[in-house]
Amino acid sequence: MFRTFLRSKIKGARITGVNLEYEGSITIDEDYLEQADILPNEEVHILNVNNGNRFTTYVIKGERGSGIMELNGPAARLGMIGDKIMVLTYAMLGPDEIAGHKPTLIFVDNEQGNGR
């Protein structure tokens, strides 16, 4: 039997932009993606700390070093610039993988919202 566990988390980032005229996704700074081991087009769960919205989308790689966290398409309606968010990924683990599993946690804490 496989169970689902947290694989990675980006915590404390702030929404830096919203772009309604897009088919849907979140654009994330390539530095954050590498640190959290998240790939472009990978499914992510977004938790908006400010308004409680939780949704699933996929990742678009943003410019390295930009601090970008931009909600695109319909997701742009679920947060405002400056809202604090968490980005989560999960993994299915078999019984032999569970004991040694440790999620990757990235902490971004910057009042400007760009993590730099």
Domains of the chain: residue spans and CATH: 3-105 (2.40.40.20)
Three-class SS string for the chain?
CCEEEEEEEEEEEECCEEECCCCCEEEEEHHHHHHHCCCCCCEEEEEECCCCCEEEEEEEEECCCCCCEEEEHHHHHHCCCCCEEEEEEEEEECHHHHCCCCCEEEECCCCCCCCC
Report pLDDT digits (tens) over 39-61.
Answer: 999 999 999 999 999 999 999 99
Over pLDDT 90: what percentage of the chain? 91
Active site positions, annotated: 25, 58
pTM of the prediction? 0.90
